[in-house]
Amino acid sequence: MFSNRASISTALRSFKLEDHMLCYNSFVPKLYNWCLSLGFTPSKIMPSRAFCSDESQGFPIILIAKHFGAFPFNHGRVGGIVSIERHAPHADHGKDLVLVQASHVGYDAETGEFGVYRRLHTEHETNSCACGKIGKIVQKYAEEYQYARDSVRLIRHEGRPSILLDYLLISPRKQGLFLVAENLVAGAEHGLPRPVSTRSTGHVFTAAPSLLARLGEDTWPHEGSVAIGTHLDAEDFYFQREGHWEDPFQDQLEHNLLAPMPWILTSTHPLLTAACANTLAEFERTYRSLLQSASMDGKNLLFVAGLNIDISPNPGDDFPLTKFVPWAAYLQRSDGTREIFEQTELLQRLGAASSSNPTQLNLEQAIQTMAGKREIQVRI
Q: Which residues contact 302 (CB under 8 A, 6 or more apart)?
A: 34, 35, 38, 40, 97, 98, 99, 329, 330, 331, 332
Pairing outcome for strands 96-108 and 321-332: unpaired
Q: Given the complex with Zn ion, which of 54 and 166 has the nearer CB atom?
A: 54
- Looking at residues 303 to 342 of the shown chain, list those that interact with Zn ion (rule: CB under 5 A): none
Stretch that binds Zn ion, among 34-42, 133-141, 169-177, 357-365 (CB under 5 A): 133-141
Least distance between Zn ion and beta carbon 163 (Å): 39
Q: Which of 278, 268, 265, 269 is nearest to 306 (CA)?
A: 278
Stretch that binds Zn ion, among 108-116, 126-134, 208-216, 324-332 (CB under 5 A): 126-134
Crossing angle of the two packed helices 251-258 and 270-292, in degrees rounded to 10: 110
Give the helix, strand, coil percentages of the chain, each rounded to 5: 40, 25, 35
Stretch that binds Zn ion, among 81-89, 127-135, 312-320, 337-345 (CB under 5 A): 127-135
Stretch that binds Zn ion, among 123-131, 137-145, 162-170, 368-376 (CB under 5 A): 123-131
The answer to whether 203 and 169 have CB atoms below 8 angstroms apart is no
Contact between 138 and Zn ion per CB under 5 A: no
Q: Given the complex with Zn ion, which of 132 and 326 has the nearer CB atom?
A: 132
Secondary structure class of 70 (helix, strand, coil) = coil
Q: Given the complex with Zn ion, which of 150 and 246 has the nearer CB atom?
A: 246
Contact between 131 and Zn ion per CB under 5 A: yes
The answer to whether 138 and 271 have CB atoms below 8 angstroms apart is yes
- Looking at residues 47 to 66 of the shown chain, list those that interact with Zn ion (rule: CB under 5 A): 52, 54
d(CA 307, CA 327): 7
Least distance between Zn ion and beta carbon 106 (Å): 9
Q: Given the complex with Zn ion, which of 52 and 234 has the nearer CB atom?
A: 52
Least distance between Zn ion and beta carbon 9 (Å): 25
Q: Quick one: CA dihedral 190, 6, 230, 273, positive or negative?
A: negative
Tell me, residue by residue from 80 to 119, as one string, x for binding to Zn ion by CB under 5 A and - for no binding: ----------------------------------------
Q: Residues 209-216: contacts with CB within 8 Å, 24+ apart? A: 210/183, 211/163, 211/183, 211/184, 212/161, 215/154
Question: DSSP class of residue 2?
Answer: -
Q: Given the complex with Zn ion, which of 77 and 133 has the nearer CB atom?
A: 133
Contact between 148 and Zn ion per CB under 5 A: no
Least distance between Zn ion and beta carbon 310 (Å): 9
Q: Given the complex with Zn ion, which of 214 and 255 has the nearer CB atom?
A: 255
Q: Which of 10, 72, 118 is nearest to 361 (CA)?
A: 72
Binding-residue total with Zn ion (CB under 5 A): 4
Q: Given the complex with Zn ion, which of 47 and 115 has the nearer CB atom?
A: 115
Least distance between Zn ion and beta carbon 130 (Å): 6
Q: Given the complex with Zn ion, which of 251 and 339 has the nearer CB atom?
A: 251
The binding site for Zn ion (CB under 5 A) comprises 52, 54, 131, 133
